[in-house]
Amino acid sequence: MINFVTHNLNKFNEINAIMENNKIGISMVKLEYEEIQADSTEYISNDSCKKLVNVVDSPYFIDDTGLYIEDLNGFPGPYASYVQETLGNKNIIKLASGSKAYFKTVISFYYNRIYQFTGILHGKISDRERGENKFGYDPIFVPENSDQTLAELSLEEKNRISHRSKAINNLISFLIENNIK
Ligand code: ITT
């Protein structure tokens, strides 16, 4: 069993579906830990993961995800959580409708040391909120080669293309190569 430290049920459900398809068991661990502020998601994620050594049973991992909007010079990037709470999707549309953007997920996995796995999804900011699956920025993010927002896709459809699924599939290849369960 692998521990996934997160408070975010949407993240857990997306990742758990992919893990189940690969017959890998994960357990959701809700824990408070302090996140440093920095410009690099990889750096923040590495620092958070280190703080959990001897706190959470290994192997464990965390998911840090940022949204990078081209017209806003990469903002909010790693501040995605704070900006979602303060500005929200309506204000992001006012600021950046039509802009290219991408999501980046960094998975930091601890097993004797930290390993990182990354996934990116390119797309653009829509002109209005669309979709029923209201997870964070999903209602305003239209992936490349799609007319629908991520919130209009089912969990399975999102998992076929998403930043998170790419990062997790990289982790899964590593788990299989190293026979980690
Ligand atoms: P943790 O407990 O795992 O840290 P969190 O919600 O604080 O959960 P992050 O800081 O990584 O997670 O995420 C930043 C925010 O970006 C998150 O609160 C969502 O609003 C948004 N977000 C993350 N992944 C997303 C996705 O796949 N689609 C849409 N929005 C997403």
> Is residue 161 within 8 Å of 143, Cβ to Cβ?
yes
Taking residues 146-162, report their average pLDDT: 98
Q: What gap in Å lies between CA 75 and CA 23, rounded to an integer?
A: 37
Both tokens of 120, joined, read 């990116």
Q: What is the pTM of this model?
A: 0.97
The reported pLDDT for the residue numbered 15 is 98
Higher-scoring residue by pLDDT: 125, 39:
125
- Nearest residue to 66 (alpha-carbon basis) of 20, 110, 107, 22: 107
Q: How confident is the model at residue 181 (pLDDT cuts 50, 70, 90)?
A: confident
Q: Is the CB of 152 under 6 A from ligand 1?
A: no
Residue 79's CATH number: 3.90.950.10
| Whole-number Å distance between alpha carbons of 117 and 91 | 31
Active site residue 57: no
Structurally, the chain folds into a number of domains equal to 1
The two structure tokens encoding residue 31 = 């824990």
Beta bridge partner(s), residue 12: none
Whether residue 164 has its Cβ less than 6 Å from ligand 1: yes
- Would the CB of 77 count as within 6 Å of ligand 1? no
Query: By percentage, how much of the chain surpasses pLDDT 70?
Result: 100
Residue nearest to atom 31 of ligand 1 (CA): 136
- The whole domain housing 51 covers 2-177
Atom of ligand 1 at shortest distance to CA of 48? 4
Ligand 1 pocket check: which of 137, 150, 154, 163 to mutate, most ligand atoms within 8 Å of Cβ?
137
How far is CA 107 from each of CA 43, 112, 118, rounded to the nearest angstrom? Answer: 11, 16, 6
Which entry of 47, 57, 63, 64 is annotated as an active-site residue?
Answer: 64
| DSSP string for 75-89 | -EETTHHHHHHHTHH
Please give the Cα distance from 47 to 162 (Å, whole number): 24
Q: How many CB atoms lie within 10 A of CB 45?
A: 26
Closest CA to 161 of 148, 173, 174: 148
64 lines ligand 1 (CB under 6 A): yes
Rounded to 10 degrees, what is the CA torsion of 135, 32, 66, 132?
A: 0
